[in-house]
Amino acid sequence: MSAPPTPVLAIESISKDFGGLRAIDNLSLDVRSGEILGIVGPNGAGKSVLINLITGFYRVSAGTIRFKDDEISGLSRHAISRLGITCTFQNVRLFRRMSVLENVLVANKGHAASPFASLFGVGRNKRDIDQAMEFICFMGLSERADQLAGTLAYGDARRLEIARALAGEPRLLLLDEPAAGMNEEETAALIDDIRASRTRVEAIVLVEHDMTLICELSDRMVAIDYGRKMAEGTTEEVFADPLFTKAYLGLEAGDLALENPHG
């Protein structure tokens, strides 16, 4: 029997304290090659903190995070980004006064180290523009390439965020509530976009309250609450887990596809 493949990301017994608050509590999980791992949990469960620990925005208080052969807990955000980990944020973060094309251009892999050079048009050539346009078209935004990002409809802005993330050619893509604020139609389109994106990256971690999106896309799911793992497995297994259903039972009826805080 051959040994199981090394996970893309191995999170081992991590904790994160903010003063007296333990936001992540002795959490371990793996992200396997080729998979979309869904992360669910009630508001305040620690999902965004987990993403921020993986990207190095926060430092772990204890435990380790390995990405492939590298231990990344302790590395700077930029070092982690250079290794190929990129996230989109729960709240849209775009250069509002730049066009869609410019937003993607500054996110291009080659420009990651010097976005300002790209901002002022330095080193911007046809190849860069063609490349950026490829990601823009991939996310269905070709007709919006010249539009200022600040004037985009909400669904398009979220789509642009993903185009920017993909333009960095990440190996691991972390999406924090990509469907937040989207209507049903936009969410359905987003599901197709994320499904298509999986061929461009080694693995995707998807944090989401929208259960339709999570169930359609996740190969596996991890449910967390109070920073601890509450359930793990296929979506069916997690939905059958009493700890998981209990954590959600306190919510309003019919609210498994949770209302998002930005809608």
Ligand X SMILES: Nc1ncnc2c1ncn2[C@@H]1O[C@H](COP(=O)(O)OP(=O)(O)OP(=O)(O)O)[C@@H](O)[C@H]1O
Under the criterion CB under 6 A, does residue 46 sit at the interface with ligand X? yes
255 makes contact with ligand X (CB under 6 A): no
* Residue in 87, 126, 128 with CA at minimum distance from that of residue 108: 128
Half-sphere exposure of residue 146: CA atoms within 13 angstroms, side-chain side: 1
Distances (CA, A) of 169 to 18, 20, 38, 90, 193: 32, 38, 21, 20, 16
Chain CA centroid to CA 216, Å:
16
- x/- mask, ligand X, residues 111-130, rule CB under 6 A, reads --------------------
Residue nearest to Mg ion as judged by C-beta position:
48
Contact set for Mg ion, span 29-68 (CB under 5 A): 47-48
Cα 156 to Cα 162: distance, rounded to the nearest angstrom: 10
- The helix-helix angle for 126-138 and 154-167 (nearest 10°) equals 130
Note whether 63 and 73 are within 8 A (CB).
yes
Q: Is 84 in the site for ligand X (CB under 6 A)?
A: no
Q: How far is the CB of 138 from Mg ion (least distance, A)?
A: 26
Q: Of the candidates 73, 86, 90, 131, which one interacts with ligand X according to CB under 6 A?
A: 90
Least separation in angstroms between CB 229 and ligand X: 13
Q: How many residues bind ligand X (CB under 6 A)?
A: 12
Q: How far is the CB of 202 from ligand X (least distance, A)?
A: 24
Nearer to ligand X, 90 or 118 (CB): 90
Return the percent helix, strand and coil in the chain, to nearest 5: 40, 25, 40
88 binding Mg ion? (CB under 5 A): no
43 is a site residue for ligand X (CB under 6 A): yes
45 binds, among ligand X, Mg ion, none (CB under 5 to 8 A by kind): ligand X
Longest dimension (CA), the chain: 56
Q: Which residue ranges make up the site for ligand X (CB under 6 A)?
A: 18, 21, 23, 41, 43-49, 90
Q: Which residue ranges make up the site for Mg ion (CB under 5 A)?
A: 47-48, 90
